[in-house]
Structure 1
Amino acid sequence: MRFPTFLATTVLIVVSQLHAAQRPNVLFMMADDLNNSLGCYGHPLVKTPNLDKLAARGVRFQNANCQFPLCGPSRNSMLTGLYPNSTGILGNAQLFRQTIPNAVSLPQAFRRDGYFAARIGKLYHYGVPNSIGTNGHDDPASWELELNPAGCDRLLEHPDIFSLIPGNFGGTLSWYASPRPDEKHTDGLQAKDAEWILERCAKDKDRPFFLGLGFFRPHTPYVAPDKWFKGYPEAEMPVVQGVKEDQADLPKPALGSYKKEQDKLTDDLRRQAVQAYYSAISFMDAQAGKVLDALDRLGLTENTLVVFTSDHGYHLGEHGLWQKQSIFEESARVPLIIAGPGAKKGVVANTPVGLIDLYPTLTELCGVKAPKNLQGQSLVPMLKDAEAKGRGWVLSQVVRGGGFKRMGASAAKGDDGKRIFGYALRTDRWRYIEWDEGRSGKELYDHETDPKELTNLADQPAQAEVQAKLSEQLHGIVKTTFPASGKTPEIPQGSVMYNPELVDP
């Protein structure tokens, strides 16, 4: 009687091992503060050969957008599969465990399903550069292993970094061409750590892995080895023109991310900033290339899903804005490339999608059990057929006023201190924005004729019908971004997380 039991157990073990061997690995790579200035997205100057190569063997999403153009809210949304209105995270000093403690994060779902889940660098929010080398605002339940290297860019080079506010780097335009090689910088160390993990995973192919690799570049300070700066001559760097004319038809909250210190920018400084940003991108691309090469060398490429994206986009002077926290195209749009099992090779999907869609996509591709309350859509249809439309829209939001940190500049633009929300609905053709349900302004841009969003068509009679339909659609979608209770989870009073800082021993 024991033989059938033994046989059944043996079959179960064999089937389980076969299932594990068939399930894809996941390499989830993120850049920090990266817009779509990549070669594969058609940028005429920026050199990103490694990410271009990745795009050539996968699906590149042309119109991917974040859900909130700020590190903390965006990353919490992406890694929980919930909109910021359902996480309650609207700033950088919070983590979703404070508001929805029982939520299952994306890597946690993989870990629960038998995957080895590891993190290197910035997946959840980190204060940059001061939290480099620490766990930042990490979520311990998400990972089995965490590695936090800190390179010369963390402490050694701080005295040499130029900043619009001397000594202030993370939230201020700042940059430095370092004399030290790639391998001495944090992102270079992270690439080496990723190779180390992949080498060990390659020896245990019965257990699939989910490796999260979060690069810190091109986030300020834009620090990269000087060899990368040489590829971008300062005199050839573009400076945005016609800003005053562009701003004339904008509502005040649209410019609420402006920072007073940016008044110091001259055209020479603007060129230097752009040069440094592009250099940091190329440096980051080279580190991503080392990791992708390791996949090839170790025979892991064919069974590994590779995702590359950013937490949000970034302004380089467009509309008179720099950095993030607007819901213009430059700030809300992100690069997104998915390559590997289940994805077509070398195709472009034009339909609008969001970072919130990654959770249901990856769990479906890997056969991992996902929570039932995810709010994104699966991108699997687009990975199989780039012409698939899916929802056909993506929603982004931002906060203005109300005493939120990093919102002080909005007061200078006429904000009365009341907290308001801005929502941007991006469809195939249109970007439609309402501030405080339209009471504080509206914006409408036609991407067929105005891809740089220079002409606000809101409230023009010729677009009245289009605007009315988009407004109705926007309001309907916003209602779906809240939890079943209809109320945004609140952070317990006094529950503020502070960025840990690495100190020089």
Structure 2
Amino acid sequence: MNRIILIAFFSTLFVVTGKAQKPNVLFIAVDDLRPELNCYGAEYMVTPNIDRLAKEGVLFHRAYCQQAVCAPSRNSMMTGLRPDAIGIYDLQTFFRTKIPDVVTLAEHFKNNGYRTETTGKIFHTGHGNKDDRKSWSVPKWEQREILNNIQKITRGDTANLQSDFPSIDGQRLPYYCSDEPEENMTDAAIAKIATDRIMELKDSTFFLAVGFIKPHLPFVSPRKYWDLYDESKISVPARKSPDAMPDISLATFGELRKYHDIPATGYLDDETSRKLIHGYYAAVSMIDSQIGKLLDALEENGLAENTIIVLWGDHGWKLGEYGSWCKHSNMELDTNAPLIIAAPGMAKNVQTRSLAEFIDVYPTLCDLAGLEKPRHLDGQSLVPVLKNPEVEIKDAAISQYPRGKSLGYDRKMEIMGYSMRTENYRFTRWQKYENPEEVVAIELYDHSGSKVATMNLAGKSEYKQEVERLNKMLTKKLSNAN
């Protein structure tokens, strides 16, 4: 009799243990990271840890954000909704003011028994200090606490950390080779919190979101990362816009012009451009090092085999292409961003050219974790691609960007540009926001050979049928999305 009870006890324990073996999720966001990494074919980049992660999963060459600026991209990713469904296109608006009851990705995992925690930048920092309390099991872990311990806060806020934000005459430097210890950097503090949390959470089932700040401006990192690159070998892209490109396409990179010694108008000179590119590369390598700490922590705590890892950059970034910088457009370089997914039982060390959108990550993680998908999601699960990288689940990826009265976006939106990436083309239609029937401009770029556009083909007679086909296709997809 006692033996039967003992067997029943262990059987129950096995079932409970089996339930506890749902996969953990390590969700890594990197600000302004473009897919210029060693594992993406940029062999001059020193990114051994991201390369290491790519060997454990599937690397997406053609993954696209829904809007090439921080908050809308992140809101879209975390809610699984397109910007039009959320109704947010700016940095300032907290998404719950528009869709208060939406269940976010992290919230869905929390509702299904996961311990959900976060540190760094996941939602936008402007309204992200609370980082949406409903999404997390505990309040956001603040890097401020670690930085306070090393007494590096200048005005009580991590955004003013001296080693991260050096300035001259009150104007921040756009790039800086720092001799500060690495642990004084905000991103190193974020990595420290994350590795500590991994150790503390090892006996639970967790969803840990870690958001790194660099390589966002200013490009500041310790000297050892600058020393990885020979500045004399860095080439400056041609300062040439695509032929027949409408003026509305590119922004004037005002984000960068706020920094010290950056001209208010016009192109940047070669020396400044080369310094900026060098600083960006160094910052990427610094972030790569922090990602390595997270991967090490998973292995050291016996979690590597049962953890889904997602690494994504919130949008692309221009490093002087077209004579332009930053993001804020519908161009390929702005909307295309890194996405790597490593998951138990899925393909390893493979790359795919299957089109993917960031709204696809939410349903993908649900499927990988065995969770029912919420009904509100706009995306499609990428699990078929994770099983077989040759599979294609969609024929287009859609992004959008608003413009205001001065061709920028000052929250008085007048024009919306919808952009669609297909197998070979990027098709963009700029239309009046209040009167969508009024089309302002059309763009068609052939990206079969390069991410850099050279000519707007929309006005050429030989592409008339292709423009008509893609125009109808975009209209249908936008109609279905709404």
**Which of 406, 409, 416 does residue 407 from structure 1 map onto?**
409
SS of 2:249's partner is: helix
Q: Which amino acid aligns with 1:161?
A: P
Shift of 1:426: 0.5
Q: State the Cα distance separating 1:71 from its structure 2 match.
A: 0.5
CA distance in 2, matches of 1:424, 1:160: 35
Summarize the Cα distance change of 1:385–1:159 in structure 2 as closer, same or farther, 3 Å threshold. Answer: closer
Q: SS at 2:160's partner residue?
A: coil
Residue 435, structure 1, aligned to residue 430, structure 2: yes
Match of 1:398 among 392, 396, 401: 401
SS in 1 for 2:93: coil
Determine the C-alpha separation between the residues in 2 that align with 1:253 and 1:306.
38
Q: Give, in whole Å, the separation in 1 of the partners of 2:196 and 2:402.
A: 41
Paired residue type of 1:125: H
Corresponding residue for residue 220 of structure 1: 217
* TM score, norm. by length of structure 2: 0.88
2:319 to 316, 319, 328: 316
- Name the structure 1 match of 2:52: 53
CA deviation after TM superposition for structure 1 residue 370, in Å: 2.6
Q: Secondary structure at the match of 1:147?
A: coil
Structure 1 residue 100, shift from structure 2 partner: 0.7
Identity value in percent:
37
Q: CA RMSD in A?
A: 2.7
User: Is contact 1:353–1:392 with CA below 8 Å preserved after alignment?
Assistant: no
Match of 2:64 in 1: 65
Matched, 1:250 2:245: yes
1:156 Cα deviation after fit? 4.4
**Is the Cα–Cα contact under 8 Å of residues 63 and 357 in structure 2 kept in the other structure?**
yes
> Are 2:301 and 1:298 aligned?
yes
Q: 2:421 aligns with which of 418, 426, 433?
A: 426
Q: Retained in 2: the 8 A contact 1:257–1:407?
A: no
**Following TM superposition, by how much is the alpha carbon of 1:45 offset from its aligned partner in structure 2, in angstroms?**
2.3
If the length of structure 1 is used for normalisation, what is the TM-score? 0.84
Distance 2:265 2:345 in 1: 45
Equivalent-residue separation in structure 1 for 2:171 and 2:470 (angstroms): 41
Query: What SS is found at the alignment partner of 1:211?
Result: strand
229-238 vs 59-68, which deviates more? 229-238
Does the CA contact (< 8 Å) of 2:225 and 2:285 recur in 1? yes
- Read off the aligned partner of 2:142 and give its amino acid letter: N
| Distance apart, 1:218 and its partner CA | 0.4
1:129-162 C-alpha deviation (Å, 9 max, x unpaired): xx9xxx5361001112321114557434279736
Q: Which amino acid is 2:160 matched to? A: L
The answer to whether the 8 Å contact 1:69/1:326 transfers is: yes
Match of 1:188, SS state, is: helix
Shift of 1:320: 2.2
In the TM superposition, residue 227 of structure 1 has moved relative to its aligned partner by 1.2
2:275 paired residue among 265, 272, 276? 272
CA contact (8 A) 1:305 1:339 kept: yes
Distance 2:205 2:219 in 1: 35
- Residues 13 and 270 of structure 1: is their aligned pair in 2 closer, same or farther, counting only changes over 3 Å? same
CA distance in 2, matches of 1:143, 1:328: 34
Aligned CA distance change for structure 1 residues 14 and 296 (closer, same or farther; 3 Å): closer
Matching residue of 2:98: 99
In 2 relative to 1, CA 474–198 (structure 1 residues): closer, same or farther, beyond 3 Å? same
Residue 20 of structure 1 and its aligned partner are, at CA, apart by: 2.2
Give unmatched runs, 5+ long, in structure 1: 1-6, 411-416, 483-505
The C-alpha deviation readout for 1:247-281, integer Å capped at 9, x for no partner, is 44111110235336353722111111111011000
Secondary structure, in 3 states, of the residue corresponding to 2:426? Answer: strand
1:144 aligns with 2:137: yes
**Closer/same/farther in 2, CA of residues 248 and 353 from structure 1, 3 Å limit:** same
Deviation at 1:454, TM superposition (A): 1.3
Are 2:330 and 2:399, in contact at CA under 8 Å, matched by a contact in 1? yes
1:13 to partner: Cα distance: 7.3
- Structure 2: which 5+ residue stretches go unaligned? 1-6, 153-157, 258-263
- Is contact 1:403-1:419 (8 Å) kept? no
Contact 1:310 1:334 in 2 (8 A): yes
Pair 1:282 & 2:285 matched: yes
Alignment match, 2:110: 111
Partner Cα distance (2:86, 2:39) in 1: 33
Measured in 2, the distance between the counterparts of 1:137 and 1:238 equals 41
- Which gives a bigger RCO, structure 1 or 2 (Cα 8 Å, sep 6+)? 1
d(CA) in 2 for partners of 1:158 and 1:182? Answer: 9
Deviations 1:201-230 (A, max 9, x none): 22x1xx311000000010111111111111
- The aligned amino acid for 2:122 is L
Residue type of the partner of 1:140?
Answer: R
Paired AA for residue 326 in structure 1: S
Asked if structure 1 preserves the Cα contact closer than 8 Å seen for 2:239 and 2:321, the reply is: no
Q: Is the 8 A contact 2:402 2:417 kept in 1?
A: yes
Quick one: structure 1 residues 300 and 441, their matched pair in 2 at CA, closer, same or farther if it must change by over 3 Å?
A: same
In the aligned structure 2, how far is the partner of 1:156 from the partner of 1:372? 42
Select 1:351's aligned residue among 338, 350, 354. Answer: 354
2:163 and 2:298 mapped to 1: Cα distance?
34
Given that residues 95 and 137 in structure 1 are in contact (C-alpha distance below 8 angstroms), is that contact kept between their aligned partners in structure 2? Answer: no
Q: Return the alpha-carbon distance in structure 2 between the equivalents of residues 450 and 340 of structure 1.
A: 30
